[in-house]
Amino acid sequence: MASDGLGEPLVIRFGLINADNKYLTAEAFGFKINASATSMKKKQVWTLDKADETGDSSAVFIRSHLGRYLATDKDGNVTADTEKPGADSRFLVIAHDDGRWSLQSEPHARYLGGTEDRIVCFAQSISPAEKWSVHLAVHPQVNIYSVARKRYAHLSVERNELAIDRDVPWGVNALLTLVYLDRRYHLQTADNRFLASNGTLAVKPDTSTGFTLEFRAGKVSGKSARLGKDELFVLENVSTRQGVDLSANQDEESDQEVFQMEMDRETKRCAFRSCSGKYWSLTPNGAVQCTASMNLRLPSRPVMGKYLAAKKNGQLAHLWILQVCEQEDFVLKLINRPLIVLRGEARLQSVAASKVPEPWTPTAASYDVFQLEHSSNAYNSLGKYWTVEANGAVVSSSGAPVYFNFEFCDYNKVAIKTLEGNYLKGDQAGVLKANAQGIANATLWEY
């Protein structure tokens, strides 16, 4: 889905739950489909693709984890083995007031429904069997770009509202979290309030803060009133553009001391962007200035023996260094994520904190939003603090802060390390332990 904003649009991945609370599933064997799973894993995840890259068509393609497309013929037979989507793969998403969707075949005007291995698309009208609950399988923290206003949403503390008037999604106030409750999605701001349908901010989620997600011409609308162009938005992946903020001042932090670290997906190299939109760049004599208007990659790792270093007067330079010492040692302080959701590799769901001293496990139904506290170049989570037991299990039970190091070593992913040098690792069973000696897929967390 194309974005008119600055960032990368969020790829909409989701699970579909029928009236019997079972997930629509794409089996690898024979590309068969059924609705028999009770939880969402890889086989239950579908991707929404815009059917027409141009124009205002609302038709979508629905792609399985196998890269094949859902399709139906005139007799209502449903398949999921189509490699290249055609007319029979075009569906319209009908959003209901209760938060559920119906999927209507565009060429045949019939509705998708069914149970177990009897999935058909033949109903001429919508009954409970043709309504599907939507469980998003994406990272819930996003930036929101208004199509009509061509501006980003952010929390305006002065006006006590969610305003849409920012050219760039800058800082923590542009961070919004999608919270799924009672079949609806609630939009949570950085100060833990929820957007209501009348535009106010509520302390707790209720019926007025619940929205049904609609997709029109590749854009998203939160349905609580009649749909118009003003209500069309693009959800952008907050991690890829806003990324990590770098503070470069020892005494105080303002917009002038804050930078966005933008990581290249392929090379894993970073660029640093200022609030004015300019990027760090190298001058011919090796000095670092914030003057580049395009995304140039500034090496912060050694390239032919050179390191980024701070001179005694505080000026940054790219110097030949024989041995790394304090002037080449920088700490990235994460300031735009006091609220963070972690999503692991082993399961599609986020890591959830236990309410009692038990090991953490991913859950299919919900996730917890952690609040971070920074001190002495390390982090802890507020509330009942994270801690590590003797067997390595991570629990949420400490009354005193326990600090962890964050290592931003991959595109929109972070490794979390204890002060003793062990990395937090999630296994296939969903248990989180601090027992990994190095960085691997299981120790990387999408943030």
DSSP per residue, 313-337 = TS-EEEEE-SS--GGG-------S-
Looking at 186, 220, 240, the residue that finishes a domain is: 240
Structure confidence at residue 258 (pLDDT)? 75
Under the banding of pLDDT at 50, 70 and 90, the label for residue 363 is: very low
User: Is it the case that residue 77 has pLDDT exceeding 80?
Assistant: yes
Domain count, the chain: 4
Is residue 177 assigned to a domain?
Answer: yes
Question: In this structure, how many other beta carbons lie within 10 angstroms of the beta carbon of residue 212?
Answer: 19
Is residue 1 assigned to a domain?
Answer: no
Structure confidence at residue 245 (pLDDT)? 40
DSSP code of residue 285 = T
Same domain, 145 and 132: no
Average the pLDDT over 435-444 and give the result. 88
Classify residue 390 as left (phi > 0), alpha (psi -120 to 50) or beta. Answer: alpha
Rounded Cα gap, residues 428 and 13, in angstroms? 21
Tokens at 429, concatenated = 């069973």
Same domain, 49 and 94: yes
C-alpha dist (Å) from residue 280 to 40, 301, 383: 42, 15, 37
Under the banding of pLDDT at 50, 70 and 90, the label for residue 122 is: very high
Say which CATH number the domain at 424 has.
Answer: 2.80.10.50
Question: What backbone phi and psi angles, to 5 degrees, belong to 192?
Answer: 70, 25
Same domain, 109 and 162: no
User: Is it the case that residue 215 has pLDDT exceeding 90?
Assistant: no
Least confident of 114-118, 142-146, 322-326: 322-326
Average the pLDDT over 332-339 and give the result. 68
Structure confidence at residue 238 (pLDDT)? 65
Structure confidence at residue 367 (pLDDT)? 64
Range of the domain at 390: 339-446
Same domain, 235 and 261: no
Same domain, 381 and 408: yes
Residues 265-289 pLDDT 10s? 777 777 887 777 778 777 777 777 7
H/E run at residue 241: helix 238-241
Residues 150-198 pLDDT 10s? 888 999 988 899 999 888 887 788 888 888 888 788 999 988 899 998 8
Structure confidence at residue 254 (pLDDT)? 66
Structure confidence at residue 376 (pLDDT)? 67
Structure confidence at residue 124 (pLDDT)? 96
Is residue 437 assigned to a domain?
Answer: yes
Same domain, 228 and 317: no
Contacts of 85 (CB under 8 A, 6+ apart): 49, 51, 61, 63, 69, 71
CA 289 to chain centre: 32
CB distance 81 to 31 below 8 Å: yes
User: Is it the case that residue 1 has pLDDT exceeding 80?
Assistant: no
Structure confidence at residue 317 (pLDDT)? 72
Same domain, 272 and 235: no
Rounded Cα gap, residues 328 and 317, in angstroms? 10
User: Is it the case that residue 347 has pLDDT exceeding 70?
Assistant: no
Is residue 333 assigned to a domain?
Answer: no
Same domain, 220 and 255: no
Looking at 93, 111, 136, the residue that finishes a domain is: 136
Same domain, 17 and 125: yes
Percent of the chain with pLDDT over 90: 28
Same domain, 175 and 231: yes
Is residue 8 assigned to a domain?
Answer: no
Average the pLDDT over 117-128 and give the result. 96
Average the pLDDT over 74-81 and give the result. 96
CB distance 140 to 366 below 8 Å: no
- Residue-wise burial string across 407-436, b where 16 or more C-beta atoms lie within 10 A, e elsewhere: ebebbbbbbbbbeeebbbbbeeebbbbbbb
User: Is it the case that residue 112 has pLDDT exceeding 90?
Assistant: yes
Tokens at 36, concatenated = 């028999």
Question: What backbone phi and psi angles, to 5 degrees, belong to 351?
Answer: -70, 130
Is residue 199 assigned to a domain?
Answer: yes
Rounded Cα gap, residues 298 and 312, in angstroms? 21
User: Is it the case that residue 380 has pLDDT exceeding 90?
Assistant: no
Least confident of 13-27, 43-57, 87-101: 43-57
Report helix, strand or coil for 275: coil
Report helix, strand or coil for 208: helix
Question: What backbone phi and psi angles, to 5 degrees, belong to 320?
Answer: -75, 125
Is residue 265 assigned to a domain?
Answer: yes
Average the pLDDT over 345-371 and give the result. 47
Tokens at 134, concatenated = 């939507």
Rounded Cα gap, residues 83 and 389, in angstroms? 49
Structure confidence at residue 302 (pLDDT)? 43
C-alpha dist (Å) from residue 36 to 43, 78, 216, 407: 11, 16, 30, 40
Contacts of 71 (CB under 8 A, 6+ apart): 78, 79, 80, 82, 85, 86, 88, 89
What pairing do the DSSP bridges indicate for beta strands 176-181 and 141-146?
antiparallel
Length of the chain: 447
User: Is it the case that residue 84 has pLDDT exceeding 90?
Assistant: yes
Is residue 59 assigned to a domain?
Answer: yes
Under the banding of pLDDT at 50, 70 and 90, the label for residue 214 is: confident
Looking at 328, 351, 366, the residue that finishes a domain is: 328
pLDDT higher for 245 or 149?
149
- Average pLDDT score, the chain: 78
